Amino acid sequence: MPSSISDAGLGEAIRAQALAEGFDVVRFARADAPPAASQRLTTFLGEGRHGTMEWMARNAERRADPAVLWPAARSVIVLGLNYGPDGDPLAMLERREVGAISVYARGEDYHDVIKAKLKRLAGEMVRRFDCEMKVFVDTAPVMEKPLAQAAGVGWQGKHTNLVSREFGSWLFLASIFTTLDIAPDAPESDHCGQCTRCLDVCPTAAFPAPYQLDARRCISYLTIEHKGHIPREFRVAIGNRIYGCDDCLAVCPWNKFAQAGHEQRLAARAELEAPPLRALAALDDAGFRAMFRKSPVKRIGRDRFVRNVLIAIGNSGDTALAADAERLLGDASPLVRAMAVWALRRLGITPPRPRPDEDFEVLSEWNSNNVTHETKNVDLPDAHREHAG
């Protein structure tokens, strides 16, 4: 039997239920296009800053306007779940013998954790209020950060990520679109002021201007979304970051109000806080799947992950890891073999001469500008010779 709760109490009833499910922030917005979001998205896509994330361009119209995504929606419930770390995530960058995994990926996959909460919350709302619901957590073309700002959760900082006055940089976002007409909360204003710490700290200069991101230069994009060979110009700057990057998040002054997350399923697993590069380089596909079971890391696959590990090995300065890189010269994946060549060169070691029929990218890596003066080039196939780097 639907509830007869008054319109004034509808939002508070939903907020109380969401907080009981473990969400830290519950706010409401109209199911309208957030101001300026569509133009920002058009510019971002028009300049190709989304890189190989073609899915962003395919769903641009639906992403820009909730009414296009679901015309029946009247309101959006924006939810935040705190995943704040209990220490400085950038301290790991000084330990070059281990891999740095982004804070959000050290526990269970947040998609699974949040989706379970969303389904329970939506089910209860349908039962009580006789409405329709659609739940989203990175599962549809939803501009969650502009909607979160419209709902007053926080604001998009100069690094384009959401900043909260209460939780700093560390909020997972989710949303529920509903046919309910819920009174909206006041939007949040920008509180970045003159600060540019997030822009200044970026190792790869991924921000062409405040409030603009070129994903093609972003370490999170390069180590997670990018499926191919990471461009040479970014590899040294990646350091030991093997999955994602927290730099622009971690330096935000608003983190002085942040708190450690309370959701135990999102807490960092001990083996993912400072995993040794040597152990990670030894992972085969089965070992990778076992280590990252229930982790968001699993989605990039073993080969891309080991590609990242080899870049970290090359940047470690530790020649004791050269044997691990050399062993991977015989890996089944050319993506891995090419980075093994680069890692050895970066450690000051000339890799063994590859076979003439080796993959083009591996040959190109062997013939790159990193080649020492005493090493002769390997012949490339004629069709590729003019494109060699």
**Which residues are designated catalytic?**
138
Helices then strands, counting H and E runs in the chain, come out as 18, 8
Cα–Cα distance list, 213 to 60, 85, 204, 282 (Å)? 17, 24, 11, 34
d(CA 188, CA 177): 20
171-178, strands of its sheet edge to edge: 25-30, 75-82, 171-178, 133-136
| Three-state DSSP class for residue 120 | helix
From the CB of residue 47, how many other CB atoms can be counted at a distance below 10 Å? 12
d(CA 162, CA 34): 14
Is the CB of residue 126 less than 8 Å from the CB of residue 133?
Answer: yes
CA angle 41/42/46 to nearest 5° reads 120
Cα Rg, the chain, nearest whole Å? 23
**CA atoms within 13 A of residue 73's CA, in its CB half-sphere:** 25
d(CA 344, CA 361): 16
Chain position carrying tokens 């991101």: 213
Is the CB of residue 328 less than 8 Å from the CB of residue 337?
Answer: yes
Chain position carrying tokens 């013998």: 97
Give how far the C-alpha of residue 303 lies from the chain's centroid of Cα atoms, to the nearest Å: 18
